[in-house]
Amino acid sequence: MKLFSPIYRRALIWSRHPHAPWYLGGMSFAESSFFPVPPDVMLAPMCLANPHRAWRLAWLTTLTSVAGGLFGYAIGYFAFEAIQPWLQESRYWPAYQQAVEWFGEWGFWAVFIAGFSPIPYKVFTLAAGALSMALLPFTLASLVGRGARFFMVAGLMAWGGARMEAALHRYVDRLGWATVGLLAAALAFYR
How far apart are alpha carbons 17 and 170 in whole angstroms?
23
Q: Which residues form the domain of 66?
A: 4-190
Quickly state the pLDDT bin for 165 (edges 50, 70, 90): low
Which one has a higher pLDDT value, 74 or 157?
Answer: 74
Q: Please give the sequence-ordered ranges of beta strands (E in DSSP) within 114-153, or none if there are none.
A: none
How far apart are alpha carbons 74 and 33 in whole angstroms?
10
Residue 190 clears pLDDT 60, i.e. is over it: no
Which one has a higher pLDDT value, 58 or 36?
Answer: 58
How far apart are alpha carbons 110 and 147 in whole angstroms?
15
43-66 pLDDT tens trace = 988 888 888 999 999 999 999 999
Report the domain count for the chain. Answer: 1
The CA-based angle 16-17-19, given to 5 degrees, is: 130
Question: Please, are residues 55 and 159 in contact by the beta-carbon 8 Å criterion?
Answer: no
Residue 113 clears pLDDT 80, i.e. is over it: yes
How far apart are alpha carbons 12 and 20 in whole angstroms?
10
Stated pTM of the model:
0.79
